[in-house]
Amino acid sequence: MNTEPNYPDALDEATARRLAKLAHRPVDVSALESKLETSLTDTPSEDLPHTNTPDPAPTYPIRHWLRPVAGIAAAIMLAATLFITLSSSTPQASAAVFDLSQLHQDLVAGRIELKTVTSTTEANRWIATQRDTAPDLPDHIAGARVQSCCLADVQGELVAVAVLEDEGQTVTLVVARAPDFAHEMGTRIQIDGRSFFGHELNGIRMMMANHGDRWLCVMGDRSYEELAKLAASIDF
């Protein structure tokens, strides 16, 4: 059974939309025009043999064709620079947020096959039969009822997933055994000295926290404070 769907790379799509907007921005290419025009027109006359040739036919000024060429070249250079900057500076947590949001939507919509369970203990027994390298779900989740579980792939990491009912709302819990799965960024909430980091995408709020070599994320249609409280109750 394949429980590791491939999600669309929403980060690439967002980057492409940003680059597309650059085509409509004015670009100052006067300096580039000047340099190109100088290099094309400044030919040393003393190096050329003297011949009695008729004057050349009149031509259009170089700027008539140089301006669009220089503008296109400058736009391409600017777009490439922006793409490299975005690719190198965007934290992995930002990329993971896109996939986590899509994962929650797919689970709620029933697009991913789930194993019905009644506790994290039962869920962990099922997970162990699927992949021995999969992370375990927490031993204790205060106040939430475990409904089902599955395994999934998020940003190339195998994660354990549990669908919970918390105060009548569906909440998704994701656990990744990877210290670099995410980074400490987003809306920070502290509970009992622990830090939780909130993100929101497509109306889905999520709260992430680090537990040693693990990252956990709880997400759903709840406030940051409610999600942080639920995350704080999770004990491995």
End-to-end CA distance of the chain: give it in Å, rounded. 27
Is a pLDDT exceeding 80 seen at residue 203? yes
In terms of pLDDT, which residue wins out, 165 or 59?
165
**Stated pTM of the model:** 0.61
Q: By mean pLDDT, which of 62-66, 98-102, 140-144 is the weakest?
A: 62-66
What is the predicted pLDDT for the residue at 183? 83
Extents of the domains making up the chain: 10-89, 92-235
CATH topology of domain 92-235: Phosphorylase Kinase; domain 1 (3.30.200)
DSSP 25-87: S----HHHHHHHHHHHH---GGGSPP---PPPPP---THHHHHHHHHHHHHHHHHHHHHHHHH
For 127-157, the pLDDT digits (tens) are: 999 999 999 999 888 889 999 999 999 988 9
Is a pLDDT exceeding 80 seen at residue 158? yes
In terms of pLDDT, which residue wins out, 79 or 173?
173
90 pLDDT band, cuts 50/70/90, is very low
Highest mean pLDDT pick, 54-58, 113-117, 207-211: 113-117
What is the predicted pLDDT for the residue at 219? 96
Q: What is the mean pLDDT of the chain?
A: 76
Q: For residues 112 and 3, is the Cβ–Cβ distance under 8 A?
A: yes
Q: By mean pLDDT, which of 34-38, 106-110, 178-182, 198-202 is the weakest?
A: 34-38
Determine which helix (DSSP H) or strand (DSSP E) holds 150, and give its type and residue range: strand 145-154
230 pLDDT band, cuts 50/70/90, is very high
